Structure 1
Amino acid sequence: MSTPSWLDRPLLGFDTETTGTDVAADRIVTVALVHSVGPGRAHETVATWLIDPGMDIPEPAQRVHGISTAHAREHGMEPSAALAEVAEMLADALRKDVPIVAFNGSFDLQILENELRRLGLPTLAERLRHDIAPVVDPLVIDRALDRWRKGKRRLVDLIELYGVQQDGALHTADVDVSATLDVLRALAAKFPEIARADLAELHQKQISWHRESAESFNRYLQKQGKTPDAKETWPL
């Protein structure tokens, strides 16, 4: 009798939409946490937060997620209250060994930790009193296990590659999370070793896979005469 996979147990999907891509200076505008206990939307419970970031949302960011400065100011929560709730829900899941699933999750976790520090709140790592784990990032896994595939690796590209059905527009945080969970399951179907892996072991493998990918990209940048700036640590 085969051992049940961690994919058959609860997962917590996580995504943010932000004012930009600088994890040190930008702010979170929306957060979605999707608790999944099985494949398909019928097995998901969604929690979302709209946050007033306390700064203007630049036009490029508005075009991505559709949230204006005026809308966030009128309808958004105060950041401290919202992000304290988010951090505690993430911490509670990780304490129960429920993995955080996030596409390019290093970005979302870094900006969350920076926001919590800025607001004088305990960070996720401080709440856990250990490293943030287990985290599962379909982008890291896809880069490692389908290394030589040509083309881009955005979430929209993997959705198309794996034939994932979308419900709603991407760059709405909850839609992105549901699609990420589906992409993860599709990856595990293509690469069964993912489903068979121990969660702690898979987390450690992703650390190595990300480092190898970043080192390779930095070597490429050096050859092009550019500054190697790919961060080699993951998820923080």
Structure 2
Amino acid sequence: MTWLTGHWAGFDLETTGVSVDDDRVVTACIARVDTSGSQPPAVRSALADPGIEIPEAATEVHGISTEHARRHGAPAAEVVAQVADALMAAVYEGLPIVGFNLQYDVTLLDRETRRYGLEPFGDRLVAACGVVIDGYVLHKYADPFRKGSRKLTAVCEHYGVRLDGAHDSHQDALAAARVVFRIGQYAQKGVDWLREQGFKDDVARRLAGLASLDLPALHGLQVRAKAEQAASFISYLKRQRKPYGDVRGEWPCVPFEPVRQEALA
């Protein structure tokens, strides 16, 4: 299966918060993964001084305090430029960017490049026809009605893959790659095997259907799947009379809205 072979660029960010427009990169990891297993991952990590206070809630998640980032981190603009360039170098080499819930990471990196006057990452990715593989989107596509958490820790447990330290960009990047690889392995087994393992018929068929896709087709499937997932969630929130304005279906990068430009000052 073509998308399950070769090398991948595993990618993860830890940040100051959850807003792609307002928050900043704290740590970043790009892990070159050899899917054959013949070589260990080549990991590049970076710590940034984000230039703003890191909220206590964010520090509790990833363990990086404002003081630590200021003392040990490189200037944020430098880290953002290096991360964007390294990812694009992988894309130009033909590697897919692999991760978990990458709509967040890719969009935030796009906003950070704009913040520092760099070529917008989202525009670069589109121009290069870059391929992204998102374990979060694929898992929801294959098993849309599974109950329980969809966070990386829970999905790793569901697929029986290692996560050596949640909310560490290094470990999350590798764990996300393991999730994607396991989904691919299941797809290769075929419908009958999946049914024998207890997968529901519709889930088995969705998973097995991934096996024949090449990288561009897999990317396109995720674009459509994310849009459908967002529309379904918005419909649910409307029925619950809950706000839904932050739910976006564009993937892997939410388009930049000039009206939000003041947030990047």
Equivalent-residue separation in structure 1 for 2:86 and 2:20 (angstroms): 21
Alignment of 1:42-191 (within 5 A): 42-128=39-125, 130=127, 133-167=130-164, 169-191=165-187
Distance 1:173 1:41, change over 3 A: farther
Task: Give the fraction of aligned pairs with identical amino acids, expressed as a percent.
Answer: 38
Whether contact under 8 Å (1:39, 1:182) holds in the other structure is no
Q: Does 1:9 align with 2:42?
A: no
1:205 correspondence with 2:214: no
Kept in 1: contact 2:106–2:122 (CA 8 A): no
Contact 2:153 2:163 in 1 (8 A): no
Q: TM-score, normalised by structure 1?
A: 0.93
- Corresponding position of 2:251: 234
Amino acid at match of 1:10: H
Match for residue 21 of structure 1 among 9, 18, 23:
18
Gaps of 5+ in 1: none
Output the TM-score relative to the length of structure 2.
0.83
Q: Say if 1:129 and 1:204 are closer, same or farther in 2 by CA, change over 3 A.
A: closer
Following superposition, the deviation at residue 127 of structure 1 comes to 3.8
Cα gap change, 1:195 to 1:90, in 2 (>3 Å): farther
Do the aligned partners of 2:91 and 2:128 also contact (CA within 8 Å) in 1? no
Q: 1:202 to 1:108 in 2, by over 3 A?
A: same
Q: Deviations over 1:98-134 (max 9, x none)?
A: 1000100010011111011010111224445616620
Query: Displacement, 1:149?
Result: 1.2
CA RMSD of aligned residues (A): 1.7
Shift in CA distance, 185/92, structure 1 to aligned 2, threshold 3 Å:
same
CA–CA separation in structure 2 for the residues paired with 1:183 and 1:129: 25
Alignment check: 8 A CA contact 1:35 1:45 kept = yes
Give ranges in structure 2 of 5+ residues lacking alignment: 189-208, 254-265
- Write the distance in 2 (CA, Å) between the matches of 1:148 and 1:44: 33
Question: How many Å apart are 1:83 and its aligned residue?
Answer: 1.2
Q: 1:132 to 1:62 in 2, by over 3 A?
A: farther
In structure 1, what residue type is equivalent to 2:34?
A: V
Q: 1:173: Cα distance to partner?
A: 0.3
Q: What SS class does the counterpart of residue 43 from structure 1 fall into?
A: coil
Which of the numbers 202, 217, 224 marks the counterpart of 2:233? Answer: 217
Residue 198 (structure 1) shift:
0.9
